[in-house]
Structure 1
Amino acid sequence: MKILIELTYYRPHTSGLTIYAERLAKALVRRGHEVTVLTSQFEKKLPREEWMDGVHVVRIPVLFRVSKGVVMPSLGWVAWRMVREHDVIHLHLPQIDAAGIAMRGRLFKKPTVITYHCDLRMPLGILSWLANQGVHIMNNLAALFTNRIVTYTQDYADHSPYLRRFQK
């Protein structure tokens, strides 16, 4: 099976989210799946494409940043092709780009899964408030187009303002 994993940051960036995604990608490769990670080229020195532990990593150039968020104007074009070429789409939230990719998954009838890692809470300030609102709206849109939303624990699913709305 060809699996597309999309997240804002991937190796060599290190966070709990990136470690989770990397471990999952490598485990899927060990099970015989073809895995592509679509992510940001958050440092210009990083290669646009490379293979890491059997995982095909495709990085999209970053035009500019807003706090930890990145703006990648070419992501949409690349996502059209990548979603078409893969069997399953796996998105890692929160992130502003997930809604567009989830929509493409729906259009191409590709099963799409969201792993929701955390509720975004930026520091006080108008720019942070705007960023929070933008990500919140896009996360909700992504949920409309996805087949499943998963998280680490039932406790987090019960207490996250985002996840509580989607429990069955």
Structure 2
Amino acid sequence: MRIAQVCPRYPPYIGGVETHVAEISGRLARAGHDVTVISTDPAGKYPRDEVIDGVRVLRFPAFAPGDAYYLSPSLSNFVKKSQGFDIVHAHGYHAFPALLATASSARKFVFTPHYHGKGHTPLRNLLLKPYKVAGSRVFRRADSVICVSEFEKGLVCRDFGCDGKVKVIPNGVIKSEFAGLKTVRASKVILYVGRLEQYKGVQYAIRALGELPDYRLQIIGKGPYKEALVKEAADAGVSERVEFHSGLTREELLKCYASAEVTVMLSKFEAYGITVAEALTAGVPTIVANGSALSEFVDGGLCRSVDLPVSPEMLADMIRKAERMPYMKEILDWDDVVRRLLTVYQEG
């Protein structure tokens, strides 16, 4: 099949949607399909046309204030003129490329919204209301809607009324990466991996450090909230025990999982939570916030949850009590994800 994946950004940009699209695209290409990624590059940092892992990657200029929206007239024109795709699979309700992809003449249009129902900032949340008039068109155009969690499916069906189209295919991990991963803990490390945004809740972990004098916090990622987190650590008097890292290789990230005492993801809005799935696959005790798809990881053992806002004392107590034990829920391998995806592509 000739398959187009349309998304706001693609690696080397980092993020959950970027990871999702890269993992499925490479596997589809290795399975013999002709895969093109149609994306944007608002900073103009990467080649406009290149092949990565057997996938043709096209990047178009875009207007993306605050790393959001990704409005690209040139991407829109390309999609309108493109012929011959059997499948167009659009990703991300919260940005314009999926809406622009509805102009495609492909035989089948599939949509993965990665929808969490709210904007990351008060302004973005406000803008979601008028955008819904246009954004609803993506759901109407879609032959199939794929959600990455039951939580996301509930939001989508509530807000867009497309119950009969929706299937749930969770994200995955590369299980072979974790098969031989050995725990190496020289000190007590709390680990956070993800974008640095206020809604992600990293500030709660910084505040808890005051109650945990023998712990360090490793924060891996980048984003607009870093400066505020640095100030938070300084104000709390724990700067010497907070480390910021970005641009790690995959091998370096796996070593961080192996050395962590516990991971935290105290985010308000998540349609899935790839780094949580990775931490649990690595056997790391994990604490997540209630109120989003993160709750679906909770098994009462290796993965436990907390309501937000959480006090430093309560979070510190949970961190102290975290312990390694078998994880009781299923996490898919990306190979399994692609097999399920191909079934959706071939329907009808």
Normalised by the length of structure 1, the TM-score is 0.85
CA distance in 2: counterparts of 1:120 and 1:13, whole angstroms: 23
Partner of 2:230: none
> Structure 2 vs 1, CA of residues 11 and 49 (structure 1 numbering), >3 Å: closer, same or farther?
same
Separation in structure 1 between the aligned mates of residue 41 and residue 151 of structure 2, nearest angstrom: 34
**Identical columns (%):** 22
Match for residue 87 of structure 1? 86
User: Which string of whole-angstrom CA distances, capped at 9 and with x for unpartnered residues, describes residues 127-152 of structure 1?
Assistant: 6523x235433331111111010111
Return the letter of the residue paired with 2:108.
P
Give the letter for the 1:8 counterpart: P
What is the match of residue 122 of structure 2?
Answer: 124
Unaligned runs of 5+ residues in structure 1 are: none
Aligned residue number for residue 147 of structure 1: 143
1:163 aligns to 2:135 (yes or no) = no
Q: 1:24 to 1:8 in 2, by over 3 A?
A: same
For residues 85 and 130 of structure 2, the distance between their equivalents in structure 1, rounded to whole angstroms, comes to 28
Does the CA contact (< 8 Å) of 2:3 and 2:85 recur in 1? yes
* Contact preservation (8 Å) 1:26, 1:54: yes
Three-state SS of the structure 2 residue aligned to 1:65 is coil
Q: 1:50 to 1:135 in 2, by over 3 A?
A: farther
Compute the RMSD of aligned alpha carbons.
1.9
Q: Distance in 1 between matches of 2:106 and 2:78?
A: 18
Instruction: Return the offset for 1:35.
Output: 0.3
Alignment match, 2:16: 16
Counterpart in the other structure of 2:325: none
| C-alpha separation in 1, matches of 2:101 and 2:2 | 16
Measured in 1, the distance between the counterparts of 2:59 and 2:12 equals 12
Aligned residue pair count: 159
- 1:93–1:139 Cα contact (<8 Å) kept: no
Alignment-mate amino acid for residue 58 of structure 1:
L
Q: Is the 8 A contact 2:71 2:96 kept in 1?
A: no
Change in CA separation of 1:69 and 1:99 when aligned onto 2, cut-off 3 Å: closer
Q: Secondary structure at the match of 1:69?
A: coil
Partner of 2:42: 42
After the TM superposition, which of the residue ranges 149-158 and 28-37 deviates more from structure 2?
149-158
Cα deviations by residue, 1:12-62 (Å, 9 ceiling, x for unpaired)? 111111111100001101110010000002221211110000000001112
- Compute the displacement of 1:109 (Å): 5.2
- Counterpart contact for 1:99–1:145, Cα < 8 Å: no
| Secondary structure of the corresponding residue to residue 57 of structure 1 | strand
* CA gap 1:156/1:44 in 2 versus in 1, 3 angstroms: closer
Deviation at 1:120, TM superposition (A): 4.8
* Conserved 8 A contact 2:88-2:106: no
Q: 1:27 to 1:46 in 2, by over 3 A?
A: same
Matches within 5 A, 1:92-103: 92-94=91-93, 95-102=95-102
Quick one: higher RCO (CA 8 Å, sep 6+), 1 or 2? 1
Three-state SS of the structure 1 residue aligned to 2:20 is: helix
* Paired residue secondary structure (2:73): coil
State the SS of the aligned residue for 1:91: strand
Higher relative strand content: 1
Q: Which has the larger radius of gyration?
A: 2
Q: Does the CA-based 8 Å contact 1:40-1:61 persist in structure 2?
A: yes
> Which consecutive residues of structure 2, in runs of 5 or more, have no partner in the other structure?
165-348
Indicate the larger mover: 39-48 or 133-142. Answer: 133-142
